[in-house]
Amino acid sequence: MKQFSFLLPLAACTLLATAQPHTNNRSVPGTARLAAYKQHETLSQNSPYKNLQWRQTGPNYISGRVTDVWGIPGNKNVMYAALATSGLWKTTDAGLSWQPLFDKQPTLNMGTMAIAQSNHNILYAGTGEANIFRASLPGMGMFKSTDAGKTWTHIGLENTGTISRVVIHPSNPDVVYVAAGGHEWSHNPERGVYLTTDGGKTWKRILAEGTASGCNDLLMDPNDPNTLYASMWNRIRKRWSDPIPEDGDYLYKSTDAGKTWKRLTNGLPETKYTGRIGLAMSKKNSNVVYAFIDNHTPKREPKPGELDPYGRPIQIIPMGVQVWRSNDKGESWSKVSTEDEKLERFAGTYGWVFSQIRVDPNDENTVYIMGVPFAKSTDGGKTFATIQTWGNNYKGDNVHGDHHALWIDPTNSNYIINGSDGGVAVSYDGSKTWKTFYHNMPTTHFYNVTYDMQEPFHIYGSVQDQGSSMGSSAYTYDKASMQSIAWRDAPGGEGTHIAVHNNIMYASSFYGRLVKSNLNLPDSLWWQDIGIKKSADEEPLRGEWMAYTFLSPHNAGTLYHGFQYLYKSTDSGNSWKRISPDLTSNNIAKMGKTPYAINHQAITAADESPLQQGLLYVGTDDGKVWLSQNDGANWTNIEKGLPANAHVSRIVASKYNKSTVYITLSDRREDNNKPYVFVSHDFGATWKSIATNVPAAPVNVIREDPRNSNILYLGTDMGIYVSHNKGASWQSLRGNLPASVSVQDLFVHPRDNKLVIGTYGRGVWILDDMSAVQK
């Protein structure tokens, strides 16, 4: 078999990359993100508000998405968990309490971590989530701790974007291998397998396969550290499509510590149709290697009327999850999983966020695979039984159904740590029963937040893969209050904007499918479908994942809702009228096919002037911006002077001046961190950038202060800022928040004058005393 030698210095890495065009010219390297963080840190240290004390309010019953978990062999007290955008966490009391370890670091976006077998004080953390969700965020390379996570040093690889696996030599902790995935949305050459032999001082890239394929998984033979296995993955996604399998998903093996590699193909399926591949082997018998293959080979034609999980007509039925096994160290392979019908929907077509497999270190025939749900085989991968992940502690919560991480104690196979979209759980009896820690790890991923006018007011928001949540603003998240339930599930799905008036709540289930709920009824169980049906002259409705919904400031019974068209209801959603044409580019070339399609070219932001009824602004995910001054009778395009094709994240019509409007755009979906913040004083005819000294990070939201027309608030993927001169300059409002946290949404409560932020990874925080900020 042909041998490939890839041992080159980092400076020569681009020689390994196959020449491929970049998907855009807007992506930025990690070095620029590090520079932006330094600016952010300077603003924070020099801010007159650096001593502000934010109060974390919750939620206290759900946690966030976990990307990796680790334990110490033979020690049930110590656990580590890496979370997607929440940092690295540790417990030393078997989960009774957890401490954040990464709050002073330049990123909370975690891909993976590893503990040195030879010295448990030495940790390596790889940043940038390798699961390519639509809301995954890139990292800033590798970090190292030599004191069990108390302090950290940045050790390079900042241009890799995402890191999916770290493997440490069993006897020499200075020898470390890293699986780098690369950018999510654009090509970049810094992908593949990297090696350091001096503890991270220098790095060499030792395996690469072009600018689109990164390394997804990396495995070291537990009985022979010179033998390595790597799975490569073509992982570029588009704004209108989940990743579609393309050639480049190969397995490689090295028997000389990574100096040379050979491609493994004997018996494996055609890579044209395979996606992400996970790898595992048992210490008991390292001749046996397993591969979890996300196989998208077309399996059958859809049945008449067959729909995908979101109710859309499906066009492709793939093979789905398959487990392959080699009994000769990867030289030959065969498919061992036999329950094809069961596994077809195990991860659906979402193998690109799962594809994790683990083998019992003491039994090569006990295999765990992670997806939706979580399954175990005791016959070498032939058959799988779904693991019943029922919680048995705090309020009896179930372990979340989407699974991403697993660690099995090599000294006791019954002790297992699990990581899911809901947080961390442990089993002490080999996966029969589980204990969850969702209530004491405040790491919830909020997409947005809003409020009501109750006393005290409630906060509402949509949460990644947790539906919607609501809680009292009076609640403080702390150890003394962990056992009280101040937050609870609310009507609506995870992908929604929420509008509330009195006790009536409007939210989407998914892709803009609206429901209306009466919160006065027990547990908010009453709801009414008020979804908009397309008429005969309309194209199928394209609701964004976060389809925009808002109530008119002039009439609480008037509701607006966006697909590619803007709709209006004057009777609280009982009937609807379309008041716009298609406000997007409507480019058929940028519309995916199910099951990979993401609804794209749709409305993502809108507002009505508080000073003039019917003065409407609308923005879309493909950069279109529109104005209507007569409640939708006529529309004017006002995007001239704004960045082309960037996702409109927020539009705010000024409450102080009828002709003034603010807009933010996020170009994260092009791997571009440039901050886009603009104001217009002539109804959008001309725009002026007011990003000024805002550190480079995608911008998610802007709001006016309700009491002072000069004050603006800004939320970005790096933090929160305030301007006292209408955007001429900005100051940090970080205070006691983590050093870098994604602020997705914010508001100042109009009655109580409290500033509330919804973060993507650290829950909801409140600034109770605004006196210093509003001076």
- Does residue 541 sit within a domain? yes
- Residues 404 and 374: their CA atoms lie apart, in Å, by 9
Which tokens go with 170? 């069993």
H helix or E strand, kind and range, residue 578: strand 577-578
Confidence of residue 482 (pLDDT cuts 50, 70, 90): low
Q: How confident is the model at residue 390 (pLDDT cuts 50, 70, 90)?
A: low
Distances (CA, A) of 58 to 63, 148, 448, 455: 10, 28, 14, 18
Its sign, for the CA torsion 123, 124, 125, 130, is negative
- Give a yes or no: residue 22 inside a domain: yes
The pLDDT confidence band at residue 619, using thresholds 50, 70 and 90, is very high
Q: In this predicted model, what pLDDT tens digit does every residue of 161-218 receive, in sequence order?
A: 999 999 999 999 999 999 999 999 999 999 999 999 999 999 999 999 999 999 999 9
Residues 73-106 pLDDT 10s: 999 999 999 999 999 999 999 999 999 999 999 9
Which bin fits 267, alpha (ψ -120 to 50), beta or left (φ > 0)?
left
Tell the residue number behind the tokens 């065969």, with chain if given: 334
Domain presence at residue 301: no
Tell me what percent of the chain is helix, strand and coil, each rounded to the nearest 5.
5, 40, 55
Eight-class DSSP state of 13 = G
- Distance, in Å, from the CA atom of 674 to the CA atom of 303, rounded to the nearest integer, reads 45
Q: How far apart are CA 91 and CA 414, in angstroms?
A: 20
**Is the model's pLDDT at 4 over the cut of 50?**
no
Residue listed under structure tokens 């996020």: 666
Domain boundary among 260, 287, 308: 260
Q: Identify which of 155, 150, 151, 122 has the alpha carbon closest to the alpha carbon of residue 140.
A: 155
- 488, pLDDT greater than 50: yes
pLDDT tens sequence across 304-361: 888 877 777 777 788 889 999 999 999 999 999 999 888 887 876 678 888 899 999 9
DSSP 549: E
Residue 347, pLDDT score = 76
DSSP secondary structure of 114-178: EE-SS-TT-EEEEES-SS--TT------EEEESSTTSS-EE-S-TTS--EEEEEE-SS-TT-EEE
For residue 255 the two structure tokens come to: 């028997």
Q: Which domain holds residue 189?
A: 1-27+105-260
pLDDT at residue 480, as a whole number: 56
Asked if 603 contacts 547 with a C-beta cutoff of 8 angstroms, the reply is yes
Q: Span 365-371, mean pLDDT?
A: 96
**Is 3 a residue whose pLDDT tops 60?**
no
Residue 362, CB-side half-sphere exposure with 13 Å CA sphere: 11
Overall domain count for the chain: 2
- Biggest CA pair distance of the chain: 74
Q: Which residue type occupies 73?
A: P
What's the pTM? 0.94
Q: Do the Cβ atoms of 744 and 446 come closer than 8 Å?
A: yes
Where is the domain boundary, 696, 722, 744? 696
Per-residue confidence band for 301, with pLDDT thresholds at 50, 70 and 90: confident
Q: Are 505 and 522 in contact (CB under 8 A)?
A: no
Q: Residue 25: is its pLDDT beyond 70?
A: no
Q: Cα–Cα distance between 519 and 14 in angstroms, integer? A: 57
- 359, part of any domain: no
Q: Residue range 279-286: average pLDDT?
A: 96
Q: Which of 396, 408, 381 is nearest to 326 (CA)?
A: 381
The pLDDT > 90 percentage for the chain reads: 78
Considering only residues 252 and 519, tell me which one the structure prediction assigns the higher pLDDT: 252
Q: Given 260, 287, 320, which residue is the final one in a domain? A: 260
pLDDT at 2: 31
Q: What is the CA radius of gyration of the chain?
A: 25
Q: How many CB atoms lie within 10 A of CB 41?
A: 18
pLDDT at 10 over 80: no
> What's the confidence (pLDDT) of residue 17?
32
118 or 23, higher pLDDT: 118
Mean pLDDT calculated for residue range 379-385 = 97
Distance in angstroms (rounded) separating the CA atoms of residues 494 and 296: 27
Does the residue 55 lie in any domain? no
Domain assignment present for residue 679? The answer is: yes
Over 70: is that where the pLDDT of 747 sits?
Answer: yes
Rounded to the nearest 10°, the torsion over CA 734, 736, 741, 744 is: -70
| Cβ atoms within 10 Å, residue 431 | 22
Report yes or no: 297 and 374 within 8 Å, Cβ to Cβ: no
3-state secondary structure at position 522 = helix
d(CA 695, CA 27): 16
- The overall average pLDDT reported for the chain is 91
- 3, part of any domain: yes
| 771: confidence class by pLDDT, cuts 50, 70, 90 | very high
- The mean pLDDT value for 416-420 works out to 96
Number of H helices, E strands in the chain: 2, 58
For 514-549, the pLDDT digits (tens) are 999 999 876 545 789 999 999 998 899 999 999 999
Closest of 234, 128, 114, 133 to residue 177, by C-alpha: 114
Question: At 494, which CATH number?
Answer: 2.130.10.10
Overall average pLDDT of the 643-660 stretch: 98
**CA-to-CA distance for 652 and 664, rounded, in angstroms?**
9
Average pLDDT over residues 487-508: 93
Per-residue pLDDT at 45: 97
Asked whether residue 499 is assigned to any structural domain, the reply reads yes
